[in-house]
Structure 1
């Protein structure tokens, strides 16, 4: 049987390089507009096309907070070595059902909002810029669509970027206005002292509580010239004062998207209108309208300041699907009261997430399975392996899905058809587990600089251990990395990407632009990849995260993290390798649920710091080592020991970026002495 080929070389490769590879569907020319639609070159064009195509269909839904319930529980914590009872506060959100609007209604909102922006004083056609600084929401996307209709470039910044990063992005771009969530309004007080070109603040919700009132007074105190409006006020002003659109040109800047800045000051990635549209073309060339249709419902909860979420939401306009906005805090039933979590309330058919999300889902499922009697667990795992065997030969297992796995499927809304994982590597074990129990996991690979484009699986190319086939808007070549032994002649090397979806430069940063882009338009990703025989790309690791150990062999620490993250004891993990040592070690945030179960099974008294007890450290270390051995890691890749992090890593405290990527420098700095001790004890 002939094996299907998904990408083919185009032309000849230069010395030390493979030939550029393209998707077979784009071998004769890269796509620049979704579905090769004529006259769609800007975000404005795409939105107008979508309204004409899908007008009466639902486009987006969101929930409002009806109440916040606070509860206090008593927990045991060690103080001066003695167990002590302390009070801990918990918040639970009570939410409304989803409220929906249609494409036609969204068009009216965007038109009024855009007119309101002009009425308060924003200048169209690129003269002013609008900062978008908040969590993913319907209002965030509406702000972007409204600004684009007036030719106003948007500057995006993660809501966890921090005061220094936000100030840098505001000063560098000379932003005139900022859309901001009310709960982070106070973080603008210091940046606006320096960013003197800011004239307008649009806050998402009306000012309703004392804290927000005090924040407004402080803003007025430091910048009395700034005008503040709520989102609703701007729309009302626009409705009362209509204004025509000032559509952008294809070459005009649509977005300046700031990265999380894990290795220095955040860089502003410039995305032209035509770049964004080509990005949508690339994604929807792979995942076309026969795969995702007008009937689909896509849960939106990743940061819109992350290129993966933004591109998916732009693609949604083409697919004609409906977006349902949620939050990480309210996605499940755990943190809500008197209502369902977002996923069960919205019942999505498509869901996008980063590997950390799917690891958490898997571990939650495994914990629930373990709560059942032994006979039930035996039936479950028998069914699991039976379905896995059937799926490998292309056969369905309807009885298993509808009866044995029904409760698990219901916990994710009961209607998921596909989930998309991107942003980092997912372990093969987790991909297989979710695919077998819930629905197929589609892997995507891309960067901000490539508009989320590089590779994307399709249902036809689903497999574990690979990243997928090239999208329809890129060509990819691999270049020798001699020092690590990766050569193009072996179809291995650093991944270089070129195409109409690739950002042309970093904003006001010629030095970084020259480092990242070649003279002939390729973006150097820093990732190491290899081609399979059927034209699918596999990521080996990041070039900067290849560490040469004492014995001269390289280890790929991101690959190790993706594998070790599958350990039931791991909530988060960072692998660290000292070049003067033989083996790596790991800094671990333990999963509380597993730690508690271990304590109960071994008659260990629970307390908040129990994971630091020697017996727990030993169990966590062994679990991680066993996970690595089961995945077939080499001896030098097996960790020598672990450091238990004293802090849970979140974007809010700066240990993770908003895209859930490790902030390695900060984690290393906090755990420096503990790392040195583990190395001293194990080497």
Structure 2
């Protein structure tokens, strides 16, 4: 495993975990086990806003899935590891039905993100040679037809639409050589020409997950059935002694199903007796206090309105409490919230997690009720959560709350909190399916001998490579099978891993200093007045500049303390206030140990949040640095020009 490699303490030998159940080796096996142990219980549920959930049983899902797969075979598709099927849809039962229809006949699923953009969708269709794509809405079918009409995706010849549509789409498709079917037509075709399942082997491809990427075109990570099963098994192994799922538990699907983290959590639930997966439409209300079925919650964001703040370390404990309660408006209430949190934090440090303490009854019950009152288990990953936010959520919700770390290239996770360790500020220990080592990054002064370096992962959960891209594959996977993540990690004394930096985004300034902008951004985000920061530097410039987005929730109060008043927009245009913001950033930078060349020399204030919609964040809320640089090029040029005057 290498000089600095570490494995999970849950393993009894050096052999890594490939599967939890001997009869479960593929994603197809996982679902079949669910059918068996559920006794045809409820499998998928969905509801519209303010409507009751409607459930589909395991047997019905299995039956419809086999019909979909049979229809594809009847139309000439092959049960093959190189037979790719596109799914261009938001989360809904049909997504899972199509997925398992593909698995039943050894075909490969290629999910398409809603937010990838037209160019990326066209790129994926061509890269994966997708002749057929399932769409949830007619608008997406129209987008695909437009690309065919322009000659951009000549390989695409079949579109299946889940929702109702007009005959105009069928006629439009005929004119450019594309057949358009409804989901019902496909299922009926399969039912009329039913085939016996042809299951995959563990080493066969299951999913090609195109990572959104922060640079260039998306890369198609090739994920095998063995990758999925080993990663899911490791999750179950980690939690087996402290969390016992039952048929009454419900999994809430929130992240896009195209995201491997979401897929892994759902697969893991099927590995055990956690038998229901709750799917809901994009416009359904997630956090409705009247819903009481929530007992297993996948967490990407606690509340959509707090999404950016949580992921950028901007929610302090009291601020989050105020947001949820909406009524902590007196000194006494603030004191009680703070006191109650400290009491429960003390229990956490002792490994105690509960929701029936005195403080739960008098302080935290409302927060627990806002999630339905029955949450037993939560997990967060895909983007960092600050220690204060994670600690608060653990105290307030009183449920087991795990944090993991990983990336699509290791299927989903490679490290996870250990049961009983509810400390924050790290991403847990290696999972039982992989080993982790840190390797030197000398240009950033991170040395493995000191317990620091680039995080590298090896095990059965590590992907096969990028689709038709040997050059990028060689960059990610070395000759010994180690995945180089590009993240900088540090081993803590208790054996857990802390992510401290990012290797891939470092650059060199004019005088030769190496700079890691994401580390600097995370420091500046501690400024009370700021919501988002983009730090920029160039090899021909001797210093850094930044684009900052003030926090609409806190700017006015912060400015008032400095003697400024006005609306959010007025304050953002105030040059004197900008100086105060820069001074605050530099102060916090010094307190956090930033070197002088790591401090920004000037800033431009921007009023619109970086978002998925404006193309500045990826679908997993990571900064798209090339797009940010291009978007703010004029402001960046002006900052450098003014500095030279």
1:51 matched to 2:35: yes
Query: Structure 1 pair 215/346, CA: closer, same or farther in 2 (3 Å)?
Result: farther
Task: Tell me by how many angstroms 1:244 deviates.
Answer: 1.4
Q: 1:88 maps to what in 2?
A: none
1:188 paired to 2:148: no
Change (3 A) 1:108 1:438: same
TM-score (norm 2): 0.87
| CA distance in structure 1 between the partners assigned to 2:5 and 2:560 by the alignment | 58
- Which one is further off, 600-609 or 169-178? 600-609
- The verdict on how the C-alpha distance between 1:554 and 1:421 changes in structure 2, with shifts beyond 3 A counting, is farther
Instruction: Tell me the SS of whatever aligns to 2:553.
Output: helix
Secondary structure at 1:141's aligned position in 2?
A: helix
Question: Is the 8 Å Cα contact of residues 116 and 241 (structure 1) preserved in structure 2?
Answer: yes
1:493-516 deviations in Å (ceiling 9; x for gaps): 212211111112211111112222
Q: Deviations over 1:519-559 (max 9, x none)?
A: 11111111111222332222121112344567766554333
Please point out which of 22, 25, 29 is paired with 2:15. 29
SS in 1 for 2:420: helix
Instruction: Say if 2:604 is the partner of 1:652.
Output: no
Measure how far apart 1:269 and its partner are.
1.0
Q: Is the partner of 1:434 in helix, strand or coil?
A: helix
Gaps of 5+ in 2: none
Give the CA deviation at 1:404.
0.9
Give the corresponding residue for 2:337: 380
Partners of 1:233 and 1:345 in 2: CA distance: 36
Note the aligned Cα RMSD (angstroms). Answer: 3.3
* Inter-partner Cα distance in structure 2 for 1:589 and 1:419: 30
CA contact (8 A) 2:86 2:112 kept: yes
SS in 2 for 1:304: coil
CA distance 1:129–1:506, shift in 2 (3 Å): same
1:581-600 per-position Cα deviation (integer Å, ceiling 9, x unaligned): 67654433444333466689
The 8 Å contact of residues 348 and 422 in structure 2, kept in 1 or not, is answered as no
Q: Distance in 2 between matches of 1:400 and 1:636?
A: 47
Residue 189 of structure 1 aligns to a residue whose secondary structure is: helix
Residue in 1 that maps onto 2:409: 449
Change (3 A) 1:660 1:19: closer
Moved more, 198-207 or 609-618: 609-618
The residue number in structure 2 matching 1:200 is 158
DSSP-derived class of the 1:201 partner: strand
From the superposition, tell whether residues 114 and 572 of structure 1 become closer, same or farther in structure 2 (CA, over 3 Å): farther
1:298-326 alpha-carbon deviations (Å, 9 max, x no partner) = 22111222211111111121133222224
Confirm or deny that 1:109 pairs with 2:69: no
The reply on whether 1:530 has 2:490 as its aligned counterpart is: yes
Matched positions, count? 625
Q: Report if the CA contact (8 A) 2:617-2:623 is conserved.
A: yes
Task: Summarize the Cα distance change of 1:410–1:573 in structure 2 as closer, same or farther, 3 Å threshold.
Answer: farther
Distance, in Å, in 2 between the alignment partners of 1:580 and 1:296 is: 57
Superposed counterparts of 1:281-680, under 5 Å? 281-288=233-240, 290-291=242-243, 293-294=245-246, 295-321=248-274, 322-326=276-280, 330-331=284-285, 340=288, 344=291, 347-353=294-300, 357=307, 359-360=309-310, 362=315, 365-367=321-323, 368-369=325-326, 372-394=329-351, 398-439=357-398, 441-547=401-507, 554-565=514-525, 569-578=529-538, 584-595=544-555, 604-606=565-567, 611-614=572-575, 617=578, 621=582, 640-678=601-639
Q: Does the 8 Å contact 2:349/2:423 carry over to 1?
A: no
Query: Of 102, 106, 121, which residue of structure 2 is paired with 1:147?
Result: 102
Where structure 1 has 5 or more consecutive residues not aligned to the other structure, the ranges are 1-9, 65-93, 334-339
Task: Name the TM-score, length of structure 1 as normaliser.
Answer: 0.82
- Cα shift readout 1:124-149 (whole Å, capped 9, x = no counterpart): 33463211222222221221111110
2:44 matched residue in structure 1: 60
| Among 228, 236, 240, the residue aligned to 1:276 | 228
